[in-house]
Amino acid sequence: MNIYLIRHSEAEPVSSQVRDFDRNLTVQGEESLRKAADGWKKLISQFDFIVSSPLNRALQTAEIIKEGFKTKSEIIIDKKVVGGTTKEILEIAFALDGKEIAFCGHEPTMSNYLSEMTCSGNLYLSFRKAMIAKIHFDGRPRLGAGELEFLIPAKAYK
């Protein structure tokens, strides 16, 4: 099984006018994500499932990816992607019974998930906007048992 962690692309700035939940991707964020997703196609043939945080910017990211990869299944919205435990994310992936599963979410949870999926200690990294990580698991996904195959920033596809 392969799990892909994808951080949402550039979003509107935090302001008193818009709730954090409702912040949308910027036009530049959408363009950057589309270019990155086109580049990902050289490494990823499809996603069986896309699971997204319910926050607008993550959902919009998931929709762009679904469209770009022509994913047949509907986007699964789960609030655990916002701040659930890594164990809960792995349980979601296992229950879906797919081979290629993407999670669209936020920082700092994407960094935490990556760290806990791939090592027993703490791995510090900067999980930038529209970045993707691929973690491969032999058999059932378990904490610390994943192998990081790639971590690619969106700027690699400018």
In the chain, domain spans: 20-145
Structure tokens at 33: 């994500």
pLDDT for res 12: 87
CB neighbourhood size of 5 (10 A): 23
- In 3D space, the residue among 12, 56, 9 whose CA is nearest the CA of residue 36 turns out to be 9
| pTM for the predicted model, two decimal places | 0.95
Classify domain 20-145 at the CATH class level: alpha beta
pLDDT digits (tens), the chain, 158 positions? 999 999 999 998 887 787 777 889 999 999 999 999 999 999 999 999 999 999 999 999 999 999 999 999 999 999 999 989 999 999 999 999 899 999 999 999 999 999 999 997 777 788 999 999 999 999 899 999 999 999 999 999 87
Render 81-104 in DSSP notation, one character per residue: HHH--HHHHHHHHHHHT-SEEEEE
Q: Could you give the CA distance from residue 135 to residue 2 in angstroms, rounded to a whole number?
A: 6
